[in-house]
Structure 1
Amino acid sequence: MKVFFLCFCVCLALPLSYAAPAHHDGIMADEPEDHLHPKGEDHQLDRCKGIEFDAITPDEKGNTFFFKGDHLWKGFTGPAELSGGTFKELDEHSHLDHVDAAFRMHHGDDPNTHDHIFFFLDDKVFSYKNYTLENGYPVDIQQEFPGIPNHLDAAVECPKGECVTDSVLFFKGNEVYHFDIKTKLTKKKVWSHLPNCTSTFRWLEHYYCFHGHNFTRFHPISGEVTGVYPKDARNYFMRCGEGFGHGAGTRKLQCSDIKLNAITTDSKGRAYAFQGSVYMRLDTHREGNHPFLISRQWKEISGAVDAVFSYGDNMYIIQGGQVYIYKSEAHYTLIEGYPKPLKEELGIDGPVDAAFLCANQHIIHIIQGQKMYDIDLMASPRAIKKEMPIPFPKIDAGLCDADGVKVFIGPEYYDYGSPMLLALGKASPQPHKISPEKFGCEQ
């Protein structure tokens, strides 16, 4: 795992704070929140006065652009500037007064379209790579995206796993066009229950329809809306001073404060770290480091977890004497019949301190106090296969990745080449300090 954690709650009674590149401070209970003051924003284009965006898209580095008329904002804070200063060919070709829609093609098998930004203006589409217009563009929308109408309202990518195939969703009024990137086939649906989206945004596997100064989160396949919507974008996607946002009293997290409860990577490569009642994605650093309540992703889990590990397409979450097993789909689904007693599922009594599983293995290593227990997940019934001492009285979390085993104790971690080397170690190796580069905290 090349990208680590994180920021999190030092105490559950206090608000969470963290460091993120040009993003936010605050617990992400449901949506992203930004708590940085905009500086020098264009007087005539003030996001905090209820602007309806024409388009929203991230670039290949994860920076998010918000478009309105011939202006854009780079990121979740900062002043408006002319769009032609960054994407000059848009203005040269079309005397730009607005962008209809935009999206980043970050997924898909075709390297010729990977990590490109597409802009839609009237009946034309522009393709940018590294802020440079691709040769041959602009072209007619129908030439690049057969079956997609002109004068669009919004567009957003939808990778396989979240949609059935690698797709793009195009919006015009209450009509939604699902475009299959590989086959170039289009299916049209009518989502009359969803507001007319003037822009759309995919962020950390969730989909947002912006309308007016509000937004509504929706399911990319069905268009289903769950939760209380619409919500005011000024509370979540920008800082607008008094009367907006929820981050009062936060502070930057110090690396010395970090103490993990669990850390794991699932079968889809999604990496998570858990602390207290929150978690953070570790593999989406281009979208920034953002903590969320655990219950946002795993609805049946309340409070802190003891250990988490992934086996096959399932994620196991251990809390006290119970184990929850979730299918690692686009959004985690609790398997019917769970939670179950830990003793019944794994043949060991809880609580536990840590659990980790190495890639392509079926032996789960569970740590309680100063002992490590090996359990064969292919056995039936499951039971402790081996018991070994470890050179620590107590650890907080453990992880096995391509580099070996990492044992986390407070703001430090220890590297071992394998679980066996951890068990055979008579003395602990030199600890590594959690660094700002890896964990997004401050020294």
Structure 2
Amino acid sequence: MVAAAAVRVPFVSPGLSSLFWTRGLLTMKLLAHILCLSLALAWAQSQEAHASAVLDRCQGLEMDAVAVNEEGIPYFFKGDHLFKGFHGKAELSNGSFAELDDHHHLGHVDAAFRMHYEDNPDHDHMFFFLDNKVFSFYQHKLEDGYPKDISEVFPGIPDHLDAAVECPKPECDEDSVIFFKKDDIYHYNVRTKAVDEKEFKSMPNCTSAFRFMEHYYCFHGHMFSKFDPKTGEVHGRYPKEARDYFMRCSKFSDDSDHVERERCSRVHLDAITSDNAGNMYAFRGHHFIRKDEGNDTLKADTIENAFKELHSEVDAVFSYEGHLYMIKDDHLYLYKVGEPHTHLDGYPKPVKEELGIEGPIEAAFVCEDHHIAHIIKEGKIYDVELKASPRVAANERPISLLKKVDAAMCDATGIKVITGNHLYHFESTMVFVTAKSLPEQKRVSLELFGCDH
């Protein structure tokens, strides 16, 4: 029997053992701290890179979904980004609808719509469809119990949808939602939950769809077609380029009809006025449209070409004594009306110096044979006596009926006030300021430019 070899264990004093243990613990904590910092840095860098991946809607993007919010502003979804309205930069969707990422790593929204039926408990809720799930948001907050399976909330409707759009009576036979998946069309009755499958032969497959100004639009790629929600029939010259009508882009394709685009664009006007002869000028982005008094012919041109000192985009314009007062940011440009328009020496000048109010402003107008410029800014209207020196913005009054005014003009018929795609007519400035309710709502494209689609 061989005796076991003796193992010599080095002696470690209790104090030294404690020191080793403490150092080891500190090393582990330091490594954990470094790891956390590295992960945080990597996440921050990924977020920065993610945010810097700029999406340009004017490059012909195919939107994944489109829905109109409770204020009538279209939301265009692309990947995990969102465009609000007809111009402006992309932002992350989870900035407005945070819970989308909480429950589902957001690749892209398949379809979206706003439920807009006042006798329905889901009135003004926005629904988003991702794979086999549906999310219901009210005022940008996820409703309790969501997300849910699509089949639970909308029985008979398949997963992995392409598009969806609400369709109220009488535009559809019943208050409905129309769902699109490739060639398949589903009319979902909101009240009875019955599903009616239809075939829209004349319409291409929709990658997104939405209802706007009581019309229905199917987007396919960066083109769109206007369709009848009951039959799917497409009337008129379609498809058309989405960038011409639903986005504010400085450049357009060679095939674009500039007059047709400007008269029928859904992008809101920036400014509008009529000169002493009754000729109307309407400005939008880099372009403007002109309509001469007594002549229904419309002409479209770039601001750069006719008003080269401005280059593009104005905030407000008014006409006074044969001159166009054009306001951009905090400066005022003055042009003498003519062919061509003449830019006066010494301009631009500060709005504060010329009108007695800080720029920028939202809208301005002068009525015929009057010498008062009415200036609209931040929900208030001011009067500026143009014959006075120095000019002062006085008689401040609140505008209670409208949250925002995009443009306004005064002519022989009264005041035309424009917000978004809607136009309201008031008999006078006093009626506009003191009215307790809005007059009949009219469409800008139809009322001003005769475009009915």
**For the pair shown, which has the larger CA radius of gyration, 1 or 2?**
2
The TM-score normalised by the length of structure 1 is 0.50
The TM-score normalised by the length of structure 2 is 0.48
More helix by share: 2
